Copies of this chain bind each other. A is one copy, B any other.
Amino acid sequence: MAGRGRRVREVNVALLGLGVVGSGVAAFLLESSGSTSNKMGLPVVLKKVLVRDPNKPRDPAIPGSLITTDPEDVLANSDIDVVVEVMGGEEPATAYMTRALSSGKHVVTANKEVMAKHGPDLMALARGCQVNLLFEASVGGGIPIIGPLMSQLLANDVRSVRSIINGTTNYILTRMAHDNADFQQALEEAQQQGYAEADPTNDVEGIDAMYKLCILASLAFHRRVAPQDVFCQGITMLQPQDFRYADELGYAIKSLAIATQDNGRIQARVYPALLPKDHMLAKVDGVYNAVEINGDLCGQVLFHGRGAGREPTTSAVMGDLLEIVRRIAQNAPPLQALEMDPAPEIQSIDNLESRYYLRLNVADQSGVLGQIARILGEENISLAAVLQKDTNLEAQTAEIVITTHPAREASLQRSLQRVAELTVVGEVSSLLRIEE
């Protein structure tokens, strides 16, 4: 165990998991193993690697003596100083991390689901056990964002976090915007490129981004934001024409993970939204990620880079691991996040004030827009722009695109229910928020 006060001569590391990220970390450690490089401070030695299938071919090849399928070889092993958890999923990762911290082992994790659901509890456990729990790799791959929120930006009263933190989704939206692909085509292409999993639900429904937003918002606001606090909408309902109309209106469509804080009241949401084309976040293309922090002192700071993949995530895991090694070498106390308000005031999406983009399928006859505008007006929603599009002569229908001035979400939803009931309205095909 690496308890404070013990003089260690090398740092022994165990890996839980040997997927894409685990392989990158293993490769780094095997290449540098035992060295006393300037960066390390102490030799860092890979001692154990927990895998499910010991016979699977690996890149890099791991010496057989390091491979185990028994978690006890790591968790009950008092030689291990640091556990690097890169197995993913809620369980057994949470149980393993709890065991590791409790027995005085430092933990580095890339697990956004565990940190979103159990992060504050695990951080409190780490604090009590006087060990480090670092998780830079859980959000934004190779982009340093957890560290800056915990240190360089700490003096700020952070007003908002706005981010593109799911590379799969951003890749799909970029294809839809630039190549006029529909969602299914773009998804299949992402799967062929290895950017989307066989079951893409977690990515395209916004769940992955929701986990990451919980982590970012909790650190930015020093208040616990949990998955159930986040309004979450995926990108599966977007149609190619939404990108064309948005473009015509001067906007890009991006899946944004946003959290705002105003006098302690927090609002958090993940959804596809329209962004002015000249906004820095609108320029984030393909599998890139970006996080924008808006603080009272720093103003808007943007972090942009590769949000996933073997090397970028290894960069983040190894940065955390080297931080721990330096602290062990210096016999320094652990790095600690601020304590968080465990139950802050969370605002529901109903309280959101936003501009909106609506696409409706309506009867191609005069007076339709007037009927819609009247209903919106009764809820104090005023129109900013109207486009009439794609008249279908045979069906005698037309597509109308409306953007509104700022309105409350609850008012908008109420009025849209009434609009949908109009006989001249076929359906409300799209409802997207506009971020300024």
Contacts and interface: CB of A to CB of B under 8 A. Distances in A.
B304 A304 contact: yes
A299 B312 contact: yes
A38 B222 contact: yes
Interface in A250-303: 280, 283, 295-303
Interface in A141-163: 142-144, 146-148, 151-156
A296 to B, nearest CB: 7
A124 B146 CA distance: 28
A333 interface: yes
Contact of A323 (B24, B151, B339): B151
B306 A303 contact: no
Contacts of A306: 298-301
Interface string A304-341: 11100001101110111111000000111100101100
Contact of A298 (B302, B312, B339): B312
Nearest to A278: B283
A96 interface: no
Interface residues of A, number: 50
Contacts of A183: none
A231 interface: no
A9 interface: no
A113 interface: no
Contact of A142 (B143, B297, B312): B297
A301 B38 contact: no
A301 B144 contact: yes
A151 B38 CA distance: 13
30 contacts: A38-B339, A39-B222, A39-B338, A142-B299, A142-B301, A143-B301, A146-B152, A147-B152, A148-B148, A151-B319, A154-B318, A154-B322, A155-B319, A155-B322, A156-B315, A283-B283, A297-B312, A297-B314, A297-B318, A298-B306, A298-B316, A299-B311, A301-B304, A301-B305, A302-B303, A302-B304, A302-B305, A330-B333, A331-B333, A332-B332
Interface of A: 24, 28, 38-39, 136, 142-144, 146-148, 151-156, 222, 280, 283, 295-306, 311-312, 314-316, 318-323, 330-333, 336, 338-339
